[in-house]
C-alpha cells in the first residue's frame, strides 16, 4: 500500500492559501453582480404581483380578463382589459405582417445569396438599425407615415393603429432578420453541399433544404419578434392613440396595454387607488404574455439545437 507522506509538498507555503482567498473573493464579487440582475427581476415580479393582487381584491380576475369596456378613469368605471389586449394584438399582427416576410426574405438573402463582402456591410447595418431609439420611430410614424396613409385613405384618424403597426414592423424587422439569419446559418454547410450535388439550384437548396432545416429557429425568431412588438411602448404611445377600443379598422385610434401604462404613469392618478393599481394589473398581464412567448421561443430553439449537436 502506498504510504501517505507526512510532509506533503503540495500543501507547502502560506502563499498558496493567500492566493486561494483572493480567488474566492473575486468569485464572490462576480457572483454578487450576477445575482443583482436576478434580484432586480425578482423584485419587479414581486411588486407586480403584490400590486396586481391588491387590484384583484377590488376587481374580479374574470371581469378583468373578459370585460370589453376599459374605462377605469371615467364614470361609470369598467375594468375589462380586452380593448387594450385587442389594441396590442392589432399592432402585433400588423407589425408581423411586415416584419415576418421582409425579415425572412432579408435573412435568406443575407445567409444564402449575399457575397461575403455584402454580408460584412449589411449585417452590422441591421444591428445598428436595431439600436435606433424607439421614440424616433414614433415621430416617424406621426409625421411621415400617418400623412402618407391619410393621403390614400382620407378617413384616417391622426392617431391610428396602421401607422403604429408599420413603424413597429420596421422596428422589429432588424431583429427578425438577424435571428432568422442566425438560424439559417446554423444549418450545416454539408446539407447544402449534399443538395447541390444532387443538381439542385440555389433557390431549391434554400427553399427545400435549408429553410425546412432551420424552421424551428425561424419560428422562434418570429415569436421573439412578436413578443418584442407586444412590449413596444414609445412608438405606439405616440402614434396609435389613447382610445381603448375593440375595432378591426386599422385607421382608427386605439390604445395598447403599454400605452395605457404610460398614460396613467404620467397622469395625476393618486397612488394606491384602484385606478392607479390598474397599471400593475395590465403590466402583470403583459409580463405573463411576453414571458409565455419567450418560453415558447426558447423551447422551440432548444429542440432545434438537439437535431444538430
Answer yes or no whether residue 8 interacts with another protein by CB under 8 A: no
| Interface with another protein, residue 200, by CB under 8 A | yes
Q: Considering the rule CB under 8 A, would residue 197 count as an interface residue with another protein?
A: yes
Is there binding between residue 292 and another protein (CB under 8 A)? no
Tell which one of 194, 267, 272, 292 touches another protein (CB under 8 A).
194
By beta-carbon proximity to another protein, the closer residue of 268 and 309 is 309
Q: Kindly state the smallest distance separating residue 215's Cβ from another protein, in Å.
A: 10
Q: How many residues appear in the chain?
A: 309
Per CB under 8 A, the segment of 150-158, 195-203, 228-236, 257-265 that binds another protein is 195-203
Task: Confirm or reject binding of residue 199 to another protein (CB under 8 A).
Answer: yes
| Closer Cβ to another protein, 68 or 193, answer by number | 193
Nearer to another protein (CB atom), residue 31 or residue 308: 308
**201 lines the binding site for another protein (CB under 8 A):** yes
Question: How far apart (Å, rounded) are the C-alpha atoms in residues 66 and 125?
Answer: 43
> Among 27, 120, 208, 299, which residue sits at the site for another protein (rule: CB under 8 A)?
208
Give the footprint of another protein on residues 153-192 (CB under 8 A). Answer: 188, 190-191
Cell digits of residue 287:
409580463
Which region among 10-18, 165-173, 207-215, 275-283 touches another protein (by CB under 8 A)? 207-215
Asked if 91 touches another protein (CB under 8 A), the answer is no
Q: Angle at the Cα of 116 (from 111 to 121), degrees rounded to 5?
A: 90
* Interface region with another protein, contact rule CB under 8 A, candidates 9-17, 54-62, 65-73, 198-206: 198-206
Lookup result for grid cell 444532387? 198
In this chain, which of 212, 267, 272, 292 binds another protein, going by CB under 8 A?
A: 212
Q: Does 93 bind another protein (CB under 8 A)?
A: no
Contact pattern for another protein over residues 106 through 135, marking x by CB under 8 A = ---------xx-------------------
Instruction: Name the residues that contact another protein, by CB under 8 A.
Output: 115-116, 188, 190-191, 193-201, 204, 208-209, 212-213, 307
Amino acid at each position: 500500500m502506498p504510504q501517505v507522506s507526512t510532509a506533503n509538498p503540495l500543501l507547502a507555503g502560506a502563499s498558496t492559501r493567500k492566493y486561494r482567498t483572493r480567488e474566492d473573493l473575486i468569485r464572490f464579487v462576480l457572483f454578487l453582480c450576477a445575482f443583482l440582475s436576478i434580484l432586480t427581476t425578482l423584485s419587479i415580479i414581486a411588486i407586480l404581483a403584490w400590486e396586481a393582487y391588491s387590484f384583484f381584491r377590488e376587481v374580479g380576475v374574470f371581469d378583468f380578463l373578459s370585460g370589453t369596456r376599459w374605462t377605469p378613469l371615467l364614470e361609470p368605471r369598467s375594468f375589462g382589459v380586452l380593448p387594450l389586449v385587442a389594441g396590442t394584438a392589432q399592432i402585433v399582427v400588423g407589425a408581423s405582417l411586415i416584419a415576418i416576410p421582409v425579415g425572412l426574405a432579408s435573412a435568406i438573402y443575407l445567409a444564402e445569396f449575399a457575397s461575403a463582402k455584402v454580408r460584412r456591410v449589411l449585417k452590422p447595418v441591421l444591428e445598428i438599425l436595431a439600436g435606433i431609439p424607439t421614440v424616433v420611430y414614433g415621430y416617424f410614424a406621426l409625421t411621415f407615415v400617418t400623412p402618407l396613409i391619410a393621403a390614400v385613405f382620407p378617413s384616417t384618424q391622426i392617431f391610428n393603429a396602421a401607422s403604429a403597426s408599420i413603424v413597429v414592423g420596421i422596428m422589429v424587422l432588424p431583429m427578425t432578420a438577424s435571428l432568422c439569419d442566425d438560424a439559417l446559418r446554423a444549418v450545416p454547410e454539408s446539407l447544402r453541399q449534399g443538395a447541390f450535388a444532387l443538381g439542385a439550384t440555389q433557390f431549391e437548396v434554400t427553399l427545400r433544404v435549408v429553410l425546412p432545416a432551420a424552421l424551428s429557429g425561424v419560428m422562434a425568431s418570429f415569436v421573439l419578434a412578436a413578443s418584442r412588438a407586444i412590449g413596444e411602448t414609445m412608438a405606439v404611445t405616440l402614434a396609435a392613440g389613447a382610445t381603448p377600443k375593440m375595432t378591426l379598422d386599422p385607421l382608427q385610434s386605439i390604445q395598447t396595454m403599454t400605452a395605457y401604462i404610460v398614460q396613467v404613469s404620467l397622469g395625476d392618478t393618486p397612488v394606491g387607488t384602484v385606478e392607479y393599481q390598474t397599471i400593475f394589473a395590465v403590466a402583470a398581464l403583459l409580463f405573463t404574455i411576453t414571458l409565455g412567448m419567450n418560453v415558447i421561443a426558447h423551447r422551440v430553439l432548444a429542440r432545434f439545437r438537439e437535431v444538430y449537436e
